[in-house]
Structure 1
Amino acid sequence: MNLGALPLVVSLLTAQAPASVPPKAAQPQKTAPSQVPGIAPLPGQPNLWVSNVPQVPQELRQRMDQYLEARSASLVDVSNDGKQLLISTRFADTNQLHVVESPMGARTQLTFTDEPINQARFQPGNPQVIYYLQDKGGGEFFQVFQLDRRTGRSALLTDGKSRHENLRVSRDGRWLAYSGTGRNGKDADVYVAPTSDPRQARRITEAEGTWSPMEFSPDGSKLLVTQYRAVDDADLHAVDLKSGERRQLTPKEGKGSVNAAVFSQDGQSVYLVTDRYGDFNALYRLELAKAPLAEAPPSLTKSVQWNVVSLAMSPDGRRLAVGVNEEGYGRLYLLDTRTQALTPLDVPKGVVSTLRFPLERSDVLAFSLGDARSPLDAWTVDVKTRKTTRWTRSEVGGIDPALFVEPELVRYPSTDGVRVPAFLYKPKGLTGKAPVVVIFHGGPEAQSLPGFNNFAQFLTTEMGMAVLVPNVRGSDGYGKAYRAMDDGVKREQSLADIGATLDFIAAQKDLDASRVGVYGGSYGGYMTLASVAFYPERIKAAVDVVGISSLASFLQNTQAYRRDLRRAEYGDERDPEVRKVQERISPLNAVEKMRAALYVQQGANDPRVPQSEAEQIVQAVRKRSPDVWYMLATDEGHGFQKKDNRDYAQMTALMFFEKHLGTPGARGGASGSR
């Protein structure tokens, strides 16, 4: 699991997208791509279509310009000798692959495409070859490519139309594995191909549902594979690549998560992260000869009462790096595989993700790290001396990070004994009462983390607003009981957390409960629309990004691959009693109650929350309030990954909040001039 904080308008839903149809390529539109009356292409950006959205004032562009230039450098992989870090960062319009060959050295760009690249692996033993995943137009139909760094050319390895994910390469460099939907466009099978002839892939699973590769054994003879049914219902299997025999390692009875898994050095045991035996994801060791166990094995992380989220085994098998999410912050530990002793690694406080040992070095661990005032960057730590080394320092538009706001972790009561954890950002030097923007995360099985967010920082630093980021019931990171509190028809009770959030704001002497805006993407978009539908007198403005307006129609229209996965979370809309609740809590059916100003943003190629969810709420609300803003990006999917699109989406959202929350102008000093 990746602990990195994602941009709020990118990758807003944790479940993966299907591949039953080929992706839509961005192309000139001959007719309007939308049924919303009055929509027209934006001058200078014909891929953006807008309706009722005013022109962005030059003053706002200048104020936000530096914030929009902020970028991150997330670790993707590390070479065998640890001398090259492969990172994903943006210097033009989209994230591309770069390599860094020394701490704080130059970032050498390797790929130069229009579409973003965020997942890649070195060929073990030959860093001149890189495998990566890339989609087109945001449709999430990822393809596997092989990059030859000597020529700079990439070769397509997959069929060009199915969806592929979870790229893995064996330690010996002989095998490539990934999941793909090529068999029937709905089920995800696991494919394995020899790296000597990577187009000759064969399926090693061929069954209904979602199957994914996790980790090769050190000798490359076996592959760990997960069978995923829901966030709380997955199983781990080991597949013998020679015989094809597949053996289930987790018990057939009961259910639990499979969050991470790696082989021991001798290949006879597996270190598994699961919540099957407790409320949190914990680390266990399973001996293959004895699996599945009838009883719970002893926890290797019983001293840590938070979710274990990531693992990395050292090449010598003596150390297992363990990433833990404690109250949203990343913590690193080392497990001595001989003594089972667990000791902390002292790294800077922040959000940690992507743990990697070089395949030929057991003394250094690479990882990504960022915090609320600085974006994700690539780091290493010497596991013997415990010294950390920063390899990249990502830019924030020339602004001194000390000017940014560090959030405060707060908790407040809701119904059913729930205490909602949230991160509260307050403007520095605040006098009087500040307007508030509440930001809801997607998922729903996700978690807002205290990572860098230029949107939230602009609201606080430049516009004098407070930002409250709650992890309402149903969020990950606080135990499986908390995560399950909004499943199915229980989602109706979770709406009380919106009221609790508004009550918390009203109880603060320096927050203005009469000027509250809400913002969210995907499921966060649903919570945004639910806020204005079911708490209409308490919300002034709402920005819904690729959000769900009707739970029933969303389930009917999301891609076939995802439908059963989402029914496990939201309930089955085919059940009359379940559908009755879904209809009752769907914002589309409560339009007559809405009073807040509304701005809806959508990607035309969204395979998760289809365009119809955005357009039906826009058109319904306009029947009683014509001034609804709407933006549609024809070259995007579930969020906005291209810089120009993301910039416009953020600028207009800020303009919208400034208009309707009555905020002052720039608070001086941070933006400067360019």
Structure 2
Amino acid sequence: MRPLFVAALLATPAFAQDVVLPAAITAEGIPAIPAALAAQIRPYLEYRSAQFQDWDPQSRAMLVTTRFGGAAQVHRVSAPGSDRAQLSFEGEPIASARFSPDGKTILVTKDVGGGEFFQLYTLAEGRLTLLTDGKSRNTGATWSRDGRRVGYTSTRRNGADGDLWLIDPADPKSDRMVAQMQGGGWSFADFHPDGKTALVSKRSSIERSDLYAIDLASGRLTPLTPANATASYQNARYAPDGTIYVTSDVNSDVQRLGTLDARRGFRPLGTATPKWDVEDFDLAPDASFIAAVSNEAGSSVLRLIAPATGAVLGTAKLPAGVITGLKVAPWGSIGFSLASATSPADAWSLDPNSLATTRWTMSETGGLDASKNREPELITVKSFDGLPVSGFLYSPDPARFPGKRPLIIDIHGGPESQTRPGYLGRTNYLINEKGIAVFYPNVRGSSGYGKRFAGLDNGPSKREDSVKDIGAFLDALTARPDIDATRVAETGGSYGGYMCYATAIKYGDRLKGAICARPISNFVTLLENTESYRRELRRVEYGDERVPAQRAKLMAISPLTHVKDIKIPLVVVTGSNDPRVKPSESIQMVDAVRAGGGQAWHLIAANEGHGYQKKENQDYEFLTRLVFWDRTLLK
């Protein structure tokens, strides 16, 4: 019998006692999962979200991506609250969708099997037309203002370097390389109103990115930022008069909004967020205002800023949550996605004149009342060296689950990332129905707390300091009267997967089990095997395995070196097509744990990459997690 989706299986409980594996999943050592468990949690599997992508210049509709089948597809929403009309019908998720400035063409990006070798397509009448070579990695597609060209970055020349290309989507034969570059951190930022030049960015690390103007005819680059300066310039935009607006941490610990020119450098605008990063912004087409989003203790705040003075023109009244995908429409409306503890990501708009906010989509939550979800508590502790570190604790309802509760610590990846108070999706089941507290730490090296904090884990000699931060959180959390210190477990993904292993090694005597997804087991083999377009960026963060002293230290801190110290049960989750942390990282660790007599379940998806995106695989992974927590944390 062909493997059934969980949803299909639930329709015939009389004929099946166990959930059948999805077609692409291999489950090594994982016990059978009862169909009754899948039926019990089904509402928590059936939520969806809607990610704002763009405005339709012709109809003033929204373009969003959302999932009604197995993977997210492009939909048009003609008005607030109206139906989502599906436009793409692919088996793979659509990563992004953008209208041309005239609204006649939709440009989308999509990969296959999570491999992140994205291709560019046009979308019309439900069909995709390939624009790129179908093999290389193509990213950062940016429309020119007249809609006649798209700038993007491609690795097609040698698989490693991100060269700059131009194409007219109406004429695929127009595709040409504008400039041959070195390194994988290049991208188009914006086109000048005159159409002759564009802004391009070179990202070397979270601490450094540089801006250039490129002549589109000759490919000649003109630096706009100082050479050899440790500073980051992000989100660059041209105003109609050619003024460059950008965020930068020049002479600051955080990203500030300002203007840039080659002669006078960066000049900050007087925004009201000196303590927090301005993480995104967009400029009104007539330059009458700037819509700017700041990350304030993890929550997004959307303000309108006067371009000339930096004065705050108004602040949007929105639920506490996280804003993504900000874009100002040609007529001035501001579109974005907003996710919060009580709502999955949905598409919203802001009227810049009245500051009225409108929710365009109301994504389903499996019939559950999401307003009952618990808001997180911000926890701040001092680590081993006195550094304040913080995170968000989601606690069960004490009226339903009194007394000391089991705890899962969930460590984010990156490390240049940040866990923020958004929608927890399936994890809400653990809190609402199983009475498990879930804590999301932001250890040193996380973004959102300034560039100094983000750099505190750089290099192999500082890497384990972030692991010690977890020890400080363990001390503080297990001392609380509502946490059961004898029932604590952990999980993490990607770099958080390294943290998951490292925490199991250092603090395993305080833990019941660990689920480590797409984890780094050996920093040397990670750097040797990760896709070449990523390698230099990762060496800046972790260290250079080609340098003997750094190689030795990287080996010394790698979890695989200390595998004998892992005494708790593990689950390892892997995507076969992962370009970042290759499957070999998981395989070598699972083999080593088993060789030493330890327990390691291994879940492998043949059609996924760095994180599961297809619903049937996501559902099965979560069911596996539930069975594991039941056998370890809750027994």
TM range (shorter): over 0.9
Report deviation, 1:283. 1.1
C-alpha separation in 2, matches of 1:303 and 1:232: 20
1:576 matched to 2:552? The reply is no
Aligned residue for 2:9? none
Aligned residue for 2:130? 156
1:172 matched to 2:146? The reply is yes
- Cα distance per residue 1:267-294 (max 9 Å; x no partner): 1x1011111321001112124xxx1436
Report deviation, 1:118. 2.3
Letter in 2 for 1:54: P
C-alpha separation in 1, matches of 2:195 and 2:59: 21
- Cα distance per residue 1:625-663 (max 9 Å; x no partner): 353211110111111000001110111112211210126
Aligned residue for 1:38? none
Report deviation, 1:584. 2.2
Aligned residue for 2:368? 399
- Cα distance per residue 1:1-59 (max 9 Å; x no partner): xxxxxxxxxxxxxxxxxxxxxxxxxxxxxxxxxxxxxxxxx955231111110111223
Alignment map for 1:494-573 (pairs within 5 Å): 494-573=466-545
TM-score normalised according to structure 2 size: 0.94
1:181 matched to 2:155? The reply is yes
Aligned residue for 1:7? none
Letter in 2 for 1:93: G
Give the structure, 1 or 2, with the largest relative contact order (CA under 8 Å, sep 6 or more).
1
C-alpha separation in 2, matches of 1:518 and 1:568: 28
Aligned residue for 2:422? 451
Report deviation, 1:353. 1.0
**Cα gap change, 1:399/1:655 in structure 2, threshold over 3 Å: closer, same or farther?**
same
1:474 matched to 2:445? The reply is yes
TM-score normalised according to structure 1 size: 0.88
Letter in 1 for 2:451: K
Aligned residue for 2:295? 325
C-alpha separation in 1, matches of 2:317 and 2:59: 19
Alignment map for 1:35-114 (pairs within 5 Å): 43-81=20-58, 83-114=60-91
Report deviation, 1:339. 3.5
- Bigger drift between 436-445 and 508-517 goes to 508-517
Out of 550, 562, 573, the position equivalent to 1:590 is: 562
Report deviation, 1:591. 1.5
Q: Secondary structure at the match of 1:535?
A: helix
Report deviation, 1:367. 0.8
Out of 469, 493, 511, the position equivalent to 2:465 is: 493
C-alpha separation in 1, matches of 2:225 and 2:387: 31
Alpha carbons 1:350, 1:371 under 8 Å: kept? yes
1:260 matched to 2:229? The reply is no
Out of 568, 572, 576, the position equivalent to 1:600 is: 572
- Bigger drift between 79-88 and 348-357 goes to 79-88
- Cα distance per residue 1:521-550 (max 9 Å; x no partner): 100111111111111201111001101011
Letter in 1 for 2:304: L
1:410 matched to 2:384? The reply is no
C-alpha separation in 2, matches of 1:399 and 1:385: 33
RMSD: 1.6
Aligned residue for 2:611? 639
1:656 matched to 2:628? The reply is yes
Letter in 1 for 2:129: A
Report deviation, 1:299. 4.1
Alpha carbons 1:492, 1:581 under 8 Å: kept? no
Letter in 1 for 2:145: R
Report deviation, 1:300. 3.6
Q: Secondary structure at the match of 1:661?
A: coil
**Cα gap change, 1:139/1:384 in structure 2, threshold over 3 Å: closer, same or farther?**
same
Aligned residue for 2:186? 211
C-alpha separation in 1, matches of 2:211 and 2:228: 13
Alpha carbons 1:250, 1:293 under 8 Å: kept? no
Alpha carbons 2:277, 2:296 under 8 Å: kept? yes
C-alpha separation in 1, matches of 2:20 and 2:557: 38
Report deviation, 1:366. 0.8
Report deviation, 1:334. 1.2
Out of 329, 340, 343, the position equivalent to 2:313 is: 343
Alpha carbons 1:164, 1:178 under 8 Å: kept? yes
Alpha carbons 1:261, 1:311 under 8 Å: kept? no
Aligned residue for 1:120? 97
- Cα distance per residue 1:120-172 (max 9 Å; x no partner): 11122134x21100001111110000112xx3222100000000111111232
Alpha carbons 1:257, 1:274 under 8 Å: kept? yes
Alpha carbons 2:575, 2:612 under 8 Å: kept? yes
Aligned residue for 2:12? none
Q: Secondary structure at the match of 1:416?
A: coil
- Cα distance per residue 1:541-586 (max 9 Å; x no partner): 1001101011111111111111111010001122222223222221
Q: Secondary structure at the match of 2:25?
A: strand
- Cα distance per residue 1:65-101 (max 9 Å; x no partner): 1111111001011112562100010000000000100
Alpha carbons 2:569, 2:598 under 8 Å: kept? no
1:380 matched to 2:349? The reply is yes
Aligned length: 612
Letter in 1 for 2:432: T
Letter in 1 for 2:196: S
Q: Gapped runs of 5+ residues in structure 1?
A: 1-41, 664-674
C-alpha separation in 1, matches of 2:596 and 2:273: 56
C-alpha separation in 1, matches of 2:584 and 2:449: 33
C-alpha separation in 2, matches of 1:279 and 1:211: 24
Letter in 2 for 1:146: T
- Bigger drift between 573-582 and 499-508 goes to 573-582
Alignment map for 1:227-266 (pairs within 5 Å): 227-266=202-241
1:312 matched to 2:312? The reply is no
Alignment map for 1:618-633 (pairs within 5 Å): 618-633=590-605
Letter in 2 for 1:157: L
Q: Secondary structure at the match of 1:201?
A: strand
1:279 matched to 2:253? The reply is yes
C-alpha separation in 2, matches of 1:358 and 1:303: 25
Letter in 2 for 1:424: L
- Cα distance per residue 1:326-347 (max 9 Å; x no partner): 1111111111123331234223
- Bigger drift between 365-374 and 625-634 goes to 625-634
Alpha carbons 1:306, 1:325 under 8 Å: kept? yes
Letter in 2 for 1:322: A
Letter in 2 for 1:453: L
Aligned residue for 1:31? none
**Cα gap change, 1:566/1:292 in structure 2, threshold over 3 Å: closer, same or farther?**
farther
- Cα distance per residue 1:157-204 (max 9 Å; x no partner): 000000011111123212111111111111011211224314422222
C-alpha separation in 2, matches of 1:577 and 1:606: 29
Percent identity of paired positions between Structure 1 and Structure 2: 42
Alpha carbons 1:606, 1:636 under 8 Å: kept? yes
Alpha carbons 1:531, 1:539 under 8 Å: kept? no
C-alpha separation in 1, matches of 2:189 and 2:497: 31
- Cα distance per residue 1:476-511 (max 9 Å; x no partner): 000000000000021122221121121112221110
Report deviation, 1:258. 2.3
Alignment map for 1:364-379 (pairs within 5 Å): 364-379=333-348
**Cα gap change, 1:152/1:160 in structure 2, threshold over 3 Å: closer, same or farther?**
same
Alpha carbons 2:501, 2:521 under 8 Å: kept? yes
Alpha carbons 2:73, 2:89 under 8 Å: kept? yes
Letter in 2 for 1:282: R
Alpha carbons 2:270, 2:309 under 8 Å: kept? no
Aligned residue for 2:120? 144
C-alpha separation in 1, matches of 2:193 and 2:294: 24
